[in-house]
Amino acid sequence: MDEVIIKVSSLDEFFDEARSSARRIDAGDFTPSPAAHLGFEDAETLLKALTPNRWTLLRTLRKGGPTSIRALSRLLGRDYRGVHSDVSALLELGLIDRDDKGLIRVPWSKITAELSIEEAA
């Protein structure tokens, strides 16, 4: 899996997708999904979690490769505490992880965020 899709989805949509995946697996289809999914219950929650600073952090980290939080804060020209807070949030969301040396990295080659105007209203 090389891509993660971020979107707003209701609880009903989440369970519909889970049931569909379970039926596929029960039928013997173990083909992995082409993309991971990260869902938020509303647009406001998505936008609070993925702030402009965090998008910049993700792009910088993806471009530069695995690094320490301190080195990343220097690259971004930001305070260590703020970068550490953003890294913690992104680790919790699964948008970044740590390699075997403990360095942070973006494991995805593509992150797509989907937000429709109906969901944003």
Residue 7 neighbours by CB under 8 Å, 6+ apart:
37, 38, 39, 40, 46, 113, 114, 115
Give 52-95 pLDDT, tens digit per residue: 999 999 999 999 999 999 999 999 999 999 999 999 999 999 99
pLDDT greater than 80 at residue 115: no
Out of 6-10, 43-47, 86-90, the most confident range is 86-90
Mean pLDDT, the chain, rounded, equals 89
pLDDT of 108:
92
Q: What string of DSSP letters covers 101-115?
A: TS-EE---SEEEEE-
pTM score of the predicted model: 0.80
**Per-residue confidence (pLDDT) for residue 17, from 0 to 100:** 78
1 pLDDT band, cuts 50/70/90, is low
CA 51/CA 90 separation, integer angstroms: 11
Residue 57: both structure tokens together? 């952090």
How far is the C-alpha of 114 from the C-alpha of 102, rounded, in Å?
31
Report the pLDDT value the prediction gives residue 119, as an integer from 0 to 100: 52
3-class state of residue 87 by DSSP: helix
Residues 99-108 have pLDDT tens digits of 999 999 999 9
Tokens read off for 6? 């971020």
- pLDDT at position 120, please? 46
User: Which residue's entry shows tokens 């690259």?
Assistant: 75
* CA dist., res. 6 & res. 49, Å (int): 11
For the chain, what percent of residues have pLDDT higher than 70? 96
